[in-house]
Amino acid sequence: MFKIFLSFLFILIPTLSYSHSQLIDILPKNNTVHTKIPTEIKLKFRSKVKLVKIDLNNISNNTKKIRLDLPSFKTRSNEFNIPIPSINAGKYNISWRALSPDGHIIKGRSKFELR
């Protein structure tokens, strides 16, 4: 019985880990400090996703939301580039949500500081 259980786990675990697209890279990277305003937010995924939401918040200023000039994200893509407007020194949080190819919502965040 134990061997059957282990066999089941070895089959199931890889399936679960690859069922949702994963974020490969995000810029600005999490917990980085910048002396120059980053020009854009870059998201790179393992497979094509539909970006459904992205927010930039100034967490130094009571989570003041920064308006982003978002292009239409009606098509799926592996990469997204969102311009960052002129921002002041402070700590910022990027939060995003995307729809993976299998229909599940994936989400993440990245924090950075501008000095």
In a domain, 6, yes or no: no
In the chain, % helix, strand, coil (3-state, to 5) comes to: 15, 50, 35
72-91 pLDDT, tens digit per residue, is 677 899 999 999 999 999 99
In a domain, 8, yes or no: no
The confidence band for 5, taking pLDDT boundaries of 50, 70 and 90, is very low
In a domain, 102, yes or no: yes
- 106: nearest Cα among 47, 64, 60, 65: 47
In a domain, 12, yes or no: no
The confidence band for 1, taking pLDDT boundaries of 50, 70 and 90, is low
Residue 104, Cβ density class (10 Å: 0-12 exposed, 13-18 middle, ≥19 buried): exposed
> How many domains, in total, are found in the chain?
1
Q: Which residues of 44-78 are buried (b: 16+ CB within 10 A; e: fewer)?
A: ebeeebebeebebbbeeeeeeeeebeeeebeebbe
pTM beyond cutoff 0.85: no
Domain that holds residue 90: 21-114
In a domain, 5, yes or no: no
Give the Cα-Cα-Cα angle 41, 44, 49 (nearest 5 degrees). 110
58: domain CATH number is: 2.60.40.1220
19-32 pLDDT, tens digit per residue, is 567 999 999 999 99
